[in-house]
């Protein structure tokens, strides 16, 4: 399909008649470039295309219900309601391949007001001839089978919002439907479903009851599965929002600290630290004061302690000696002996007794140095004992602790002095409380939805078992066994074809994505290997080297299956082939026997952990691969093309992506995205260019056949 022309009349900000020629006359010039400031009407232009082609289906409605009418009313140019006749329409001319022949269809959808009621008119012309009702029905069915309305969104690429598709748990269904439709696999799926259902056609009342029960259960299973997917997607979105709130909280905390803010917990901690420092200072100061006022003078002359102690002891013993010498008397000794003893013997005994009490080195002629009383002598001895037991190292530690405590107190005082004013801190606190409140509400929602999801999963499991049991009863009650066997055979054949074709397409898609990434992305090791599972979940890997020891640790800590998940199926096959084993248990034994082995394998990476720019480049590569794989001519429309792309990769995308992704590429851009530098790069590939100029005063968009710049 190609879009040849678009005409708008009183649609959105496009007042009156406006026309765009999108036809491509030279295959080397495949780009239609549309420039415009934000709000100029770029998005409205392609809303018009979708509405013209699909009508209510563009918004997911089966018919022109009040909600659809309300949306259309919002698209009608506001100034039109100020005229006598309210009229608005969009016309899209497209080229379609029908029965190996390209045919041009002109699709017009218009609206008029009559008695304050909106009426819609829809018509299609083929080569200028109006289609009748039967032909119109065929055209609508063919268009919807070629590109269903929800698939059309796939090729209306919004650089700002497209990454959100992959932040949900249902993106795989989205991609699977696109691949099935564009590659023609949906035909196999339709046949499979038809033959599967044909086997259950009933011919008796009992069979009809069973079949009705089966259809009821099937519908219940589908509804429950859809509800499960919807709630899962909501949980994923809310978790993403929760992660964003955590980021906002971290950014707020960083800004708060940079501005001199102190949180309540931090302030409390610092107050406690300050009080502890003051306590240490006071205790240390008291100890130092006690030392200086008490023993410091004696500590200075502490080297004399031994001499003073010896002198005091000598004087004390000398006093005892003088006292005994005064008390001892020759006559009393002689009388005490009561015997005839010579004077010499008495003198000898007296001298012997005195010598016993005479201190060593004592001279009777020596004069006492101190002559202290017993009380004074006790105080001196107590001081000497104190000096002997004094902890000098402890005093030094106390002085250092006092200095450290003083530094701490000064630092905290300085922080408090330079801290943010209370009224400014209150603003930050209010913002923090708002974020915390949102987090609390989100956590509650996630908890409630997770609980509901568990209940729905349990119910779905029960319904699926009931459905399967009922289907077995349907098969058992089918009378025409030949029809059943034929239908069942066709179903199995379609199943086999789907499995075979899907495996081939997945393999080709994996390789094409990698090829495209290498063409437009500078980092060679961002994604080097992709594995797409049966449900079209994408498992992304980059090259990585492992040791046998690391793999064993993975098995020990996370289980054997963790190795398969970490290195992918291909990595597991490499390991199995190297050691000639076919189970993870056998592999574990071989790794234990060869702990020094190293392997060039893969490391799994989470798509949602990539940066937004890397994610957009991956999705661009994916879209490119899908279009290449389908082999169909599909227009690729991209709005805000460089939304998340850094400057280095904008040049690569301009040179390699836009000229090659499709035979018709429509780019919607501001002058800040496709600027002069990138305009020069894509200019050789531009077939036509338009500039949307918006008059803000009148909310009117005019169309000029030029871009912002000239080259």
Q: Are residues 5 and 688 in contact, defined by beta-carbon separation less than 8 angstroms?
A: no
44 lies in the same domain as 102: yes
In a domain, 357, yes or no: no
* 25-69 pLDDT, tens digit each: 888 999 999 999 888 888 888 889 889 999 998 887 878 888 899
34 lies in the same domain as 109: yes
Specify the pLDDT at position 46: 80
Res. 104: pLDDT tops 80: yes
Specify the pLDDT at position 485: 56
pTM, two decimals, is 0.58
CA proximity to 51, closest of 149, 147, 119, 160 = 149
In a domain, 485, yes or no: no
* 258-298 pLDDT, tens digit each: 777 777 778 788 889 889 988 998 988 888 888 888 888 77
Cα–Cα distance, 250 to 252 (Å, whole number): 5
Cα–Cα distance, 343 to 339 (Å, whole number): 12
Instruction: Give the residue carrying structure tokens 């991956």.
Output: 618
% the chain with pLDDT above 70: 89
16 lies in the same domain as 137: yes
Specify the pLDDT at position 90: 96
- The kind and range of the H/E element at 334 are helix 330-337
Task: Return the bridge partners of 11, or none.
Answer: 14, 76
The CA angle 606-607-609, to the nearest 5 degrees, is 65
Cα–Cα distance, 599 to 602 (Å, whole number): 9
Cα–Cα distance, 615 to 162 (Å, whole number): 9
| Domain harbouring 11, CATH code | 3.40.50.300
Residue 355 pLDDT grade (very low, low, confident, very high; cuts 50, 70, 90)? confident
Q: Are residues 636 and 665 in contact, defined by beta-carbon separation less than 8 angstroms?
A: yes
Specify the pLDDT at position 703: 92
6 lies in the same domain as 106: yes
Res. 359: pLDDT tops 80: no
Task: Return the bridge partners of 530, or none.
Answer: 540
CA proximity to 123, closest of 155, 159, 91 = 91
In a domain, 304, yes or no: no
> What token pair was written down for 695?
């008059």
582 lies in the same domain as 645: no
Cα–Cα distance, 675 to 685 (Å, whole number): 16
12 lies in the same domain as 134: yes
In a domain, 500, yes or no: no
Those residues with Cβ within 8 angstroms of residue 111's Cβ, 6 or more apart along the chain or in another chain: 72, 76, 87, 88, 89, 118, 119, 120, 121
Specify the pLDDT at position 489: 63
16 lies in the same domain as 107: yes
Long-range contacts of 301-309 (CB under 8 A, 24+ apart): 302/387, 305/384, 305/387, 305/388, 308/380, 308/384, 309/381, 309/384
CA proximity to 659, closest of 682, 637, 633, 640 = 682
* 535-545 pLDDT, tens digit each: 888 889 999 99
In a domain, 382, yes or no: no
Specify the pLDDT at position 7: 95
In a domain, 566, yes or no: yes
* 616-652 pLDDT, tens digit each: 888 888 888 888 888 777 888 888 788 778 777 888 8
Specify the pLDDT at position 195: 58
558 lies in the same domain as 669: no
DSSP 182-196: HTTHHHHHHHHHHHH
Cα–Cα distance, 109 to 76 (Å, whole number): 12
26 or 329, which is more confident?
Answer: 26
695 or 8, which is more confident?
Answer: 8
Those residues with Cβ within 8 angstroms of residue 580's Cβ, 6 or more apart along the chain or in another chain: none
75 lies in the same domain as 142: yes
- The SS3 of residue 13 is coil
Q: Mean of the per-residue pLDDT values for the chain?
A: 83
545 lies in the same domain as 460: no
Its domain, for residue 429, covers 200-261+423-477
Specify the pLDDT at position 201: 53
In a domain, 290, yes or no: no
* 486-497 pLDDT, tens digit each: 566 666 676 677
7 lies in the same domain as 127: yes
Domain tally, the chain: 3
Specify the pLDDT at position 188: 60
* 553-609 pLDDT, tens digit each: 888 888 888 888 889 999 999 999 999 999 888 898 899 999 899 999 999 988 777
In a domain, 234, yes or no: yes
552 lies in the same domain as 456: no
- 441-468 in b/e form (b: 16+ CB < 10 A) is eeeeebeebeeebeebeeebeebbebbe
């Amino acid at each position: 399909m190609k879009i040849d022309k678009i005409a708008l009349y009183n649609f959105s900000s496009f007042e009156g008649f406006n026309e765009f020629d999108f036809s491509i006359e030279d295959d080397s010039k495949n780009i239609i470039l549309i420039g415009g400031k934000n709000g100029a009407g770029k998005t409205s232009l392609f809303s018009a295309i979708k509405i013209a082609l699909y009508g209510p289906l563009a918004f997911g409605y089966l018919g022109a219900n009040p909600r659809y009418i309300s949306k259309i009313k919002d698209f009608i140019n506001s100034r039109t309601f100020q005229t006598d006749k309210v009229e608005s329409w969009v016309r899209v001319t497209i080229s379609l391949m029908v029965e190996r022949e390209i045919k041009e269809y002109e699709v017009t959808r218009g609206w008029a007001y009559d008695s304050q009621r909106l009426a819609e008119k829809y018509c299609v012309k083929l080569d200028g001839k109006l289609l009748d009702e039967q032909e119109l029905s065929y055209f609508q069915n063919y268009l919807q089978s070629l590109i269903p309305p929800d698939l059309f969104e796939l090729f209306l690429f919004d650089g700002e919002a497209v990454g959100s598709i992959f932040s949900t748990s249902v993106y795989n269904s989205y991609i699977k439907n696109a691949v099935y439709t564009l590659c023609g696999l949906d035909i196999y799926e339709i046949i499979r479903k038809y033959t599967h259902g044909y086997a259950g056609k009933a011919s008796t009342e009992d069979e009809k009851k069973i079949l009705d029960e089966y259809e009821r259960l099937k519908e219940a299973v589908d509804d429950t599965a859809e509800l499960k997917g919807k709630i899962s997607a909501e949980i994923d979105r809310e978790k993403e929002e929760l992660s964003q709130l955590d980021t906002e909280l971290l950014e707020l905390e960083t800004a708060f600290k940079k501005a001199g803010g102190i949180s309540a917990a931090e302030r409390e901690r610092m107050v406690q630290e300050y009080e502890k420092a003051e306590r240490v200072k006071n205790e240390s100061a008291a100890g130092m004061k006690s030392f200086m006022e008490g023993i410091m003078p004696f500590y200075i002359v502490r080297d004399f302690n031994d001499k003073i102690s010896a002198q005091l002891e000598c004087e004390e013993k000398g006093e005892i000696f003088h006292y005994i010498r005064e008390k001892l008397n020759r006559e009393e000794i002689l009388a005490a002996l009561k015997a005839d003893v010579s004077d010499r013997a008495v003198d000898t005994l007296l001298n012997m007794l005195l010598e016993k009490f005479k201190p060593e080195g004592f001279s009777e002629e020596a004069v006492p140095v101190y002559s202290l009383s017993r009380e004074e002598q006790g105080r001196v001895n107590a001081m000497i004992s104190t000096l002997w037991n004094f902890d000098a190292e402890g005093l030094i530690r106390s002085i250092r602790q006092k200095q450290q405590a003083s530094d701490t107190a000064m630092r905290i005082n300085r922080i408090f002095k330079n801290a943010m004013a209370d009224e400014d801190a209150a603003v930050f606190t209010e913002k923090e409380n708002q974020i915390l409140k949102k987090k609390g509400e989100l956590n509650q929602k996630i908890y409630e939805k997770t609980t509901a999801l568990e209940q729905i999963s349990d119910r779905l499991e029960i319904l699926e078992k009931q459905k399967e049991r009922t289907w077995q009863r349907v098969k058992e009650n089918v009378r025409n066994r030949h029809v059943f066997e034929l239908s069942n055979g066709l179903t199995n054949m379609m199943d086999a074809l789907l499995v075979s074709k899907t495996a081939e397409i997945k393999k080709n898609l994996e390789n094409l994505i990698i090829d495209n990434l290498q063409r437009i992305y500078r980092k060679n090791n961002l994604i080097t290997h992709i594995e797409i599972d049966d449900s079209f979940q994408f498992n992304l890997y980059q090259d990585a080297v492992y040791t046998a020891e690391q793999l064993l640790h993975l098995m020990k800590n996370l289980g054997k299956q963790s190795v398969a998940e970490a290195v992918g199926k291909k990595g597991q096959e490499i390991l199995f082939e190297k050691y000639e084993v076919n189970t993870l248990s056998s592999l574990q034994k071989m790794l234990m026997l060869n702990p020094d082995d190293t392997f060039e394998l893969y490391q799994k990476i989470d798509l949602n952990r990539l940066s937004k720019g890397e994610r957009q480049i991956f999705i661009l590569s994916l879209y490119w691969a899908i279009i290449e794989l389908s082999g169909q001519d599909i227009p690729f429309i991209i709005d805000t093309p460089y939304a998340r792309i850094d400057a280095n990769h904008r040049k690569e995308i301009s040179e390699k992506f836009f000229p090659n992704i499709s035979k018709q590429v429509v780019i919607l851009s501001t002058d800040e995205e496709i600027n002069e530098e990138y305009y020069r790069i894509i200019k050789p590939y531009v077939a036509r260019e338009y500039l949307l100029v918006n008059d803000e005063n009148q909310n009117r968009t005019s169309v000029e056949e030029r871009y912002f710049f000239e080259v």
